[in-house]
Amino acid sequence: MKLPSRTTSRTIAWLAAVCMILSMTKAFADQGHPGLDPLFLELKTAPDQATADRITGEIWSLWREVDNPDVANAMAQGARAMSSKRYRSAYQHFSEAIDRAPEFAEGWNKRATVLFLAKAYDRSIRDIKEVLRLEPRHFGALSGLGLIFLRQGQYRPATQAFRNALAINPHLPRIREALDQLEHRQRSIDEKNTI
């Protein structure tokens, strides 16, 4: 292909730099995967729990995708440490993943999970906010946020977080149950306060 005569070497270099930046961004654009939108549409209309679980698994798989082997390694080491209840080590590995790929939402989500398990709720909420900034449809992060609020006795924010999670993924039975209990609790309070 012959380039137009106006094209200079600076323009070519600029285009090459843009392409390189876009390819680097793609490596961490787990939340931007083109397969997510149709999966979220399917999830809302899934006819049964088994179908919803399959779709949910596909969404989680796409969220976990990362092309950078260093980030993937840090995530794997963090997951192993977390499952062994070595929370400090898991926190360090997930922090490394975040440092290397700050736009990788799942790095933030995993670190938020470790902080939740370590009962560092305020720090976990900060990481959850970052997850939701990167991927507003992250029903896992919204569910975790609701659980933190529940543990803190903040029932209205917990109720809202659970509602938001279920609006995205209506097939979360434990979150549905928690929401039902919160709504029942609120109805009881309202009835007692009725004059």
For the domain that residue 194 is a member of, what is the CATH number?
1.25.40
| Element counts in the chain: helices (H) and strands (E) | 10, 0
For residue 178, is it within any domain? Answer: yes
Q: Which residues contact 179 (CB under 8 A, 6 or more apart)?
A: 159, 162, 163, 166
pLDDT at 30: 61
pLDDT at 32: 79
Residue range(s) defining the domain that contains residue 179: 138-195
pLDDT, tens digit, for every residue of 86-126? 999 999 999 999 999 999 999 999 999 999 999 999 999 99
pLDDT at 147: 97
**Domains in the chain: how many in total?**
1
For residue 32, is it within any domain? Answer: no
Give me the chain's average pLDDT, please. Answer: 87
For residue 126, is it within any domain? Answer: no
For residue 12, is it within any domain? Answer: no
pLDDT at 192: 84
Given a contact cutoff of 8 angstroms between Cβ atoms, the answer to whether 43 and 55 are in contact is yes
Secondary structure in 3-state letters for 114-151: HHHHCCCHHHHHHHHHHHHHHCCCCHHHHHHHHHHHHH
pLDDT at 101: 97
Which DSSP string corresponds to 12-46? Answer: HHHHHHHHHHHHHHHHT-GGG-TTHHHHHHHHHT-
For residue 170, is it within any domain? Answer: yes
For residue 43, is it within any domain? Answer: no
For residue 132, is it within any domain? Answer: no
Q: What predicted TM-score, i.e. pTM, was given to this entire model?
A: 0.81
Residue ranges, the chain, pLDDT below 70: 1-30, 195
For residue 110, is it within any domain? Answer: no
Tokens of 188: 């009881």
CA distance 11 to 22: 16
pLDDT at 59: 97
